Amino acid sequence: MATDSLAAVDFGGYTLLENASLRARNTLRVDARAALLAEVRDIHALPALLDWPAIRNMPALALGEGSNVLFTGNFGGLIVTLKTRGIEIIGEDGRTARVRIAAGEHWNDVVRWSLAHNLCGLENLSLIPGTAGAAPVQNIGAYGVELEEFVHLVEAFDLRERRLETFSKNGCEFAYRDSRFKREPDRQLITALELNLPKSREPVIDYAGVREELATMKIEGKPTSPQIAEAVVRLRTRKLPDPALIPNAGSFFKNPILPIEFANELKREHPALPLWAMDQTHAKLSAAWLIEAAGFKGAREGDAGISERHALVLVNHGNATGAQLWALAQRVREGVREYFGVMLEPEPRVIGSA
Ligand SMILES: Cc1cc2nc3c(=O)[nH]c(=O)nc-3n(C[C@H](O)[C@H](O)[C@H](O)COP(=O)(O)OP(=O)(O)OC[C@H]3O[C@@H](n4cnc5c(N)ncnc54)[C@H](O)[C@@H]3O)c2cc1C
C-alpha cells in the first residue's frame, strides 16, 4: 500500500510532504499524488515557503478537505492546505455580530459555533463538508441560502503578487456556485473570512422539505435557528450519500440556467421537469431530474458510478481512478445533451483536464 509521502519535514509554520498521497485528502478517494504538499499553520510563513528555489516556478494549488475536487491524475506542483484555526467575534451592535474565521476551520464547526453563540443565518448551511476557506470559492449554498448573504470581506494571499489582499463582498463577484476565486483558480489563497451574522432573522424554511421536516419534528410556530439546523441535518443525512461510506463529491453537476424560452419549451415537452424562474429572462432546471430521465441514475462502469439515491452524485464504489470517474461524468453530460439539448457543467473542480 502507498505511504502518505516519502518525507515530511517541519519548517516551523508549515510541514512539507514530498510525493504526497491525496487519497485521504479528497472525498472521492481518488488515489492521486502531489509532487509536494504543504500543510500551513501560520500564513506568515507563506512567502518563505513559496520562495524555495524548487517551488518558485511550480504551479500551486489550494486544497481544503477535497470535497469539491476531482483529480484525474497526479499533480506535478505544490498543494497548499491551510491548517489555521480561530473563530472570534470582532465587533457587534444590537442586531449583528461580525465574526472572523480562519480558513482552516471546518465549515460545519463554524455553523455550530454560530448557533452556540445565538447567531443566525448559517443554519441552512449545516453539514456542508469542507473548510471555511473554500466556502466562498463556490459561494456554498443549500436549502435556499447562500454564503454571500453574510460575507463582509474575504482575506486572501495573492500567490502571484505574494501579498495579503482583502475583497469586499462585491469584490468577491459571487454568483450561483461561483465567485471570482472559482473563475481565476490558484491566484488567491483564501486565508480568512469576516461574516456579518444577525442576532435574529426571518427563518428560510420554504425550500426542499425543510418546513415538512420541522412539522415531523413537531415544531410549531416560528422555528429557532438550531431547530432549522436540526431539520437540515436530518434531511441531508437521509438524502445525500455519506462520503465516509461511499466516496463522493456531493452534487457533481450544477443545475443549468437557461434562457426562459428554451426552458419553457423543455417544460412543455416534459411537464414533470422541475423549473424555477430566476428572473424575466432565465430559468434554472433540475440537473438531477435531467440525469435520471436520461437513464443514468444508478449507472455503473467498473467502480465509477452515479448514486442510486441521488442522480447528481458521482460515486467511487472502490478503486475507480479519477480518469474513470471523469469518463463516466462525460458520458452523463453527453447523454443529457443528446436527450434534452442541455450541456451540464460540473460543479467540482476537475484537476488534470477539464
Ligand atoms: C456530501 C457532500 C455534500 C455537499 N453539499 C454541498 C452543498 O449543499 N452546497 C454546496 O455549495 N456545496 C456542497 N458540497 C461541495 C463542498 O462541500 C463545498 O464546495 C466545500 O466548500 C468544499 O470545501 P473543501 O475544503 O473540501 O474544498 P476543496 O474541495 O478542497 O476545494 C474546492 C475548491 O476550492 C479551492 N480552495 C480550497 N481551499 C481554498 C483556499 N483556502 N483558498 C482558495 N481556494 C481554495 C480549491 O482549489 C478548489 O478549487 C458538498 C460536498 C459533498 C462531498
The length of the chain in residues reads: 354
Residue 40 lies in a domain: yes
Strand order, beta sheet including 313-316: 248-251, 313-316, 304-306, 300-301
pTM score, whole prediction:
0.93
Whether residues 19 and 51 share a domain: the answer is: yes
Q: Tell me: the pLDDT tens digits for 55-85? A: 988 999 999 999 999 999 999 999 999 999 9
Query: With contact defined as beta carbons under 8 Å apart, do 271 and 264 qualify?
Result: no
Cell matching residue 223: 422555528
Residue 339 lies in a domain: yes
Amino acid letter, 177: R
Q: What is the pLDDT of residue 352?
A: 86
Whether residues 96 and 204 share a domain: the answer is: yes
Mean pLDDT of 140-145: 95
Query: With contact defined as beta carbons under 8 Å apart, do 215 and 231 qualify?
Result: no
235 has pLDDT over 90: yes
Last residue of a domain, one of 204, 239, 274: 239
Q: What is the pLDDT of residue 2?
A: 46
Structural domain containing residue 23: 7-82
Q: What is the pLDDT of residue 353?
A: 54
CATH number, domain of 22, equals 3.30.43.10
Q: What is the pLDDT of residue 73?
A: 94
- Quickly state the pLDDT bin for 265 (edges 50, 70, 90): very high
d(CA 83, CA 74): 22
CATH number, domain of 150, equals 3.30.465.10
Q: What is the pLDDT of residue 193?
A: 98
CA distances from 313 to 11, 126, 241, 242 (A): 39, 19, 8, 11
CA distances from 39 to 64, 141, 242 (A): 10, 27, 26
| Residue from 179, 225, 251, 286 carrying the catalytic annotation | 251
d(CA 246, CA 64): 20
Give the residues surrounding ligand 1 with Cβ less than 6 Å away: 27, 61-69, 82, 103, 128-131, 133-135, 137-138, 140-142, 181, 185, 188-190, 240, 243, 248-250, 349
Apex 296 CA angle, 290 and 300, nearest 5: 155
Q: Tell me: the pLDDT tens digits for 147-199? A: 999 999 999 999 988 999 999 999 999 998 899 999 998 899 999 999 999 99
- Quickly state the pLDDT bin for 4 (edges 50, 70, 90): low
Active-site annotation holds for 18 = no
Mean pLDDT of 256-269: 95
Mean pLDDT of 271-286: 92
Whether residues 140 and 216 share a domain: the answer is: yes
Residue 228 lies in a domain: yes
Residue 2 lies in a domain: no
* Element containing residue 249 per DSSP (H, E): strand 248-251
- Quickly state the pLDDT bin for 10 (edges 50, 70, 90): confident
Whether residues 227 and 295 share a domain: the answer is: no
Residue 1 lies in a domain: no
Amino acid letter, 3: T
214 has pLDDT over 80: yes
Query: With contact defined as beta carbons under 8 Å apart, do 41 and 105 qualify?
Result: no
Percent of the chain scored above 70 by pLDDT? 97
Whether residues 164 and 303 share a domain: the answer is: no
Closest CA to 173 of 163, 184, 162: 184
Q: Looking at beta carbons, which pairs linking 91-94 to residues 24 or more positions away fall under 8 Å?
A: 94/199
Q: Tell me: the pLDDT tens digits for 198-211? A: 999 999 998 879 99
Neighbours of 266 (CB within 10 A): 17
Whether residues 202 and 143 share a domain: the answer is: yes
Distance in Å, CA 345 to ligand 1 centroid: 16
354 has pLDDT over 60: no
CATH number, domain of 302, equals 3.90.78.10
Whether residues 212 and 171 share a domain: the answer is: yes
Last residue of a domain, one of 49, 82, 115: 82
Q: What is the pLDDT of residue 9?
A: 76
Whether residues 154 and 188 share a domain: the answer is: yes
3 has pLDDT over 70: no
Residue 34 lies in a domain: yes
d(CA 170, CA 289): 33
Q: What is the pLDDT of residue 175?
A: 93
Average pLDDT, rounded, for the chain: 94
Whether residues 71 and 110 share a domain: the answer is: no
CA distances from 110 to 120, 133, 189, 314 (A): 12, 11, 19, 27
Whether residues 140 and 234 share a domain: the answer is: yes
Amino acid letter, 335: G
The answer for residues whose C-beta is within 8 angstroms of residue 71's C-beta and 6 or more apart is 22, 26, 30, 32, 322, 351, 352
Whether residues 17 and 101 share a domain: the answer is: no
Q: β-strands 145-146, 141-142: how paired? A: antiparallel
d(CA 66, CA 160): 23
Active-site annotation holds for 251 = yes
- Quickly state the pLDDT bin for 6 (edges 50, 70, 90): low
- Quickly state the pLDDT bin for 1 (edges 50, 70, 90): very low
Whether residues 37 and 77 share a domain: the answer is: yes
- Ligand 1, residues 14, 67, 251: which to mutate, most atoms within 8 A of Cβ? 67
d(CA 121, CA 116): 13
Last residue of a domain, one of 82, 113, 140: 82
| Residue of the CA atom closest to atom 50 of ligand 1 | 250
**What's the number of domains the chain is made of?**
3
Distance in Å, CA 107 to ligand 1 centroid: 10
